[in-house]
Amino acid sequence: MNDVERARSIGENDPEGALALLEKHPVLAPGPQCSFDEIDERLDLSRMRIDLYERCGRHEAAEAEQADATRFLEGQLDFTDRQIASDKSPGLRFSRKAMLLDLLGRRTEAARCGLLCADLLLARLGDAGARVSLEAAAAAGTAVSVFGGAKGLGAILESGDAFGVGYKAARDSTDRAQADYERQKLLGDGRAVAFAECELCGRLVGADYRTSLCWAGHRVAWVRVVAFEDAPPALGAHVDGHTFAVLDCAFSPDGETIVSASWDKTLKLWDAETGTCRRTLKGHGGPVNTCAFSPDGRRLVSGSVDKTLKLWDAETGSCEATLEGHGSDVYACAFSPDGRRLVSGSYNQTLKLWDSETGVCHMTLKVHRFVRACAFSPDGRRIVSGGSRKSLKLWDAETGVCEAALKGHGSDVTGCAFSPDGRRLVSASRDKTLKLWNAETGACEATLRGHGDSVTACAFSPDGRRIASASADKTLKLWDAETGACRRTLEGHGKSLIACAFSPDGRRIASASADKTLKLWDAETGACMATLGMPS
């Protein structure tokens, strides 16, 4: 008989003796990934200890043991999220995630995760849109009950949200064709493409998403699953507008064109005066996170969830080259001031430097856990990057040496930019602030507070006197770069702002939003001059 068995046998009459036996075993702590059986075994041991602590009147020890158990499960959940991020077919891993969420008491999330798992597995059986029947839809519901708990599933279907209503309609419909159509909208085109939408900002989050946060920093609530492939535009959507969140935008050097990147896997070129869409650029295999014009305005670069960058002819819209090498989603990219190099940042902890003519990668820098933003200095000699670890890093663009780490933010850095003279930096963070830094010394000169939610992007005006910031609080703010005072707050978007950019003459500002639109603002008066696309 081992210690655990002996503890069980004497626990009723001798709780102190049973505890003495169990305390020979290590307490629960985050560690390597465990199998289901190992998790059950460890949690069973933890529950025994908690019960014995309570019976012996050692309430603080019981609370500490419960906290250890929670940390252990959260550690296992973190391992599972990382596996999902690296697995091209993560369906079964979602069942493990559902189980861990259920053990943590997050049962509605567990049910939703289980439903997503069932959808992904069913989608891999074949042509989901044509073959998955009402019976298969019902089977998915059964699978959720197994994975996530019937109560959680019931809460979803009865909640009245878009997720529950859409799924229930597909399941309960007596019209087979309509049910298949609804099912296809939920599943995608048979390639297991499913997306969840953050209920606070509308950010669409992929089934292989890396954390429990949406891009703007909110906890993902799995409000609804939508098909990304071939999803019809929202009722009344502008024929030329984006059909999902707009994630980035930039002015051409002459100020006549705006480029936008979107989760609908396209870039669009807009006339900056009339607001009409001139051209739609297609070619990426996933959502497009970032875009930029070359200094001469003749080319564009874009980065995508498909792990590639693409170079485009800005006049014809043709794709000139696809740059491959990143091991995960590309979130940021920028041309050097002379246009000869590119820098790109990815989720897989790297910055890459590329020859913009040949497409050859000359250097790979190991940086933050993930990179959200990067930019060249005006003289092209340095690069700034921002992402996880609550910091920015400054790099020598020739040698790849990290010159400095700028620390001070309380959460991930989401945006960064050099001032036009290269002497200062501005950064944006999920901690709801911006910070101004001395680019030479790395000292923080000011912290700009005023946004009510994550700050998602920032930009200096061409004369360096103003700063624009975009936020998940649905506003754009203009700041005095010298005093740090907020001069104006621009409101009008229906969901989170994700990007912003000044025109080359500094008279206009473009903003991109999760509401599927861009807006053009008068930088002096704050008046909205135009809305590009139609909001959701």
Split the chain (536 residues) into runs of 10 and give each run's mean pLDDT: 71 78 64 73 80 83 84 85 64 69 69 55 35 32 31 34 38 40 39 40 39 44 35 38 91 98 93 92 92 98 94 96 93 97 91 96 85 96 92 95 94 95 96 97 97 95 98 95 97 93 98 93 95 79
pLDDT, position 421: 97
**Block residue for tokens 């705006």:** 258
Do residues 254 and 332 share a domain? yes
Instruction: Measure CA of the first residue to CA of the last residue in the chain; give whole Å.
Output: 65
Do residues 299 and 425 share a domain? yes
**Letter string b/e over residues 394-422, b meaning 16 or more CB atoms within 10 A of that residue's CB:** bbebeeeeeebebebbebbbbbbbbbeeb
Q: Count up the domains in the chain and report the number.
A: 2
Q: Is residue 204 part of a domain?
A: yes
d(CA 50, CA 4): 14
C-beta of residue 226 within 8 angstroms of C-beta of residue 233: no
Task: With CA atoms as reference, report the closest residue to 223 among 214, 211, 231, 233.
Answer: 214
Do residues 133 and 250 share a domain? no
pLDDT, position 148: 30
Strands (E), 432-524: 433-438, 444-449, 455-460, 466-471, 475-480, 486-491, 497-502, 508-513, 518-522
pLDDT, position 90: 55
Do residues 311 and 409 share a domain? yes
Do residues 291 and 211 share a domain? no
Do residues 224 and 256 share a domain? no
CATH number for the domain spanning 448: value is 2.130.10.10
Residue type, 148: G
Q: Is residue 427 part of a domain?
A: yes
Do residues 221 and 319 share a domain? no
Residue that finishes a domain, picked among 231, 257, 289: 231
Do residues 332 and 394 share a domain? yes
Do residues 181 and 261 share a domain? no
**Letter string b/e over residues 192-216, b meaning 16 or more CB atoms within 10 A of that residue's CB:** bbbbbbbbbbbbbbbbbbbebbbbb
d(CA 506, CA 342): 24
pLDDT, position 536: 56
Q: Is residue 25 part of a domain?
A: no
d(CA 485, CA 466): 10
Residue that finishes a domain, picked among 231, 260, 294: 231
Structure tokens, 285:
């295999």
Q: Is residue 518 part of a domain?
A: yes
Q: Is residue 21 part of a domain?
A: no
pLDDT, position 162: 34
Structure tokens, 420:
């036009």
pLDDT, position 180: 41
Q: Is residue 536 part of a domain?
A: no
Q: Is residue 270 part of a domain?
A: yes
Do residues 412 and 488 share a domain? yes
Do residues 195 and 308 share a domain? no
Residue that finishes a domain, picked among 196, 231, 266: 231
Q: Is residue 216 part of a domain?
A: yes
Does the pTM exceed 0.75? no
d(CA 98, CA 82): 15
Do residues 418 and 525 share a domain? yes
| Domain span at 217 | 124-231
